[in-house]
Amino acid sequence: MNKSSYLDLSRAFLHILAMAIMLCDHSWATIFPGTQWLTRIGRIAFPIFAFLLVEGYFHTHNLRRYMTRLLAGAVISEIPFNYMVGGGPIYPYHQNVLWTFFFALLIVSTIDKLHQQLRPAAALAASAALAALGYLLGYVAMVDYYGLGILTVLVFYFFRERTWTNFALQFACLLVINGFLLGGLYWPVTVMGHEFELPQQGLALLALVPIWLYHGRQGYHNKRFQRFCYAFYPLHITVLCCISAVLSR
């Protein structure tokens, strides 16, 4: 593809976009529960973050540090997340999304090592087994988006190269995951007098537009911006929960 023919979005832009969209979704979950358009927009955030996780894996100079930061973020975020989804400091039935990404990164790094050590047929079989293991792990651990969240990360890992075939496979996989398997709320839409019900989670496919407009450019980057991106998840949930507690008095 001719790069100059396309709008070129950077990784930094995708991070900011995904964080802004996630803020919309979590605002709906805390202080604006009746504002459905916020959570509909929010469906777009997770696939962008899943894509950025894979990009981070391929660009990191220290995988152990990358995984340690994810693990630390998951632990730190757990209590604010529990307040958001369960109303208290302990809620064992749903874990925050950084656990999803941590487990997905474990699976991705293991698959990558096996591809370097095994013959293609054996590596393919091992990859399928690990993908199934990741899927089960997501449900057993009850992480955000469950096993399908881990599979979403694997979609961007397996079909990472910028080809039309991979774009089509990304679209097909995300359509199955978000349009049929995840389910959730339905959005009534009327077209020419005919009413249809569309799964709100299907709006996650819109994430592919900014993802496909990314060509590998890092964009704005320094230590402060990197720390802000890591801190944003627990910080914004904490602030929203505090605002919600004040408003509910």
DSSP per-residue codes, 98-136:
HHHHHHHHHHHHHHHHHHHHS-HHHHHHHHHHHHHHHHH
pLDDT band per the 50, 70, 90 thresholds, residue 3:
low
> Mean pLDDT across the chain, nearest whole number?
94
As for how many domains the chain has, the answer is 1
Which of 139-143, 186-190, 245-249 has the weakest average pLDDT?
186-190
Distance CA 167, CA 154 (A): 14
Strands 194-199 and 186-191: antiparallel
- What's residue 6's pLDDT? 61
Q: What is the mean pLDDT of residues 213-231?
A: 94
Interval 142-190: pLDDT, tens? 999 999 999 999 999 999 999 999 999 999 999 999 999 997 777 777 7
What's the one-letter identity of residue 2? Answer: N
pLDDT digits over 229-243, tens only? 999 999 999 999 999
Going by pLDDT thresholds of 50, 70 and 90, the confidence category of residue 191 is confident
The pLDDT tens digits for 73-130 are 999 999 999 999 999 999 999 999 999 999 999 999 999 999 999 999 999 999 999 9
The predicted pLDDT at position 59 comes to 95
Across residues 17-35, what is the average pLDDT? 96
Looking at per-residue pLDDT, the higher value among 183 and 24 belongs to 24
Is the distance from CB of 104 to CB of 134 less than 8 angstroms?
A: yes
Asked whether the whole model's pTM tops 0.75, one would answer yes
**Which whole-number Å values give the CA distances from 221 to 20, 47, 61, 212, in the listed order?**
18, 22, 15, 21
> How far from 20 is each of 27, 61, 119, 168, 177, CA to CA, in Å?
11, 27, 43, 27, 23
Domain that holds residue 175: 3-247
Query: What is the percent of the chain with per-residue pLDDT over 90, rounded to a whole number?
Result: 86
Burial bucket for residue 108 (CB in 10 Å: 0-12, 13-18, 19+): buried
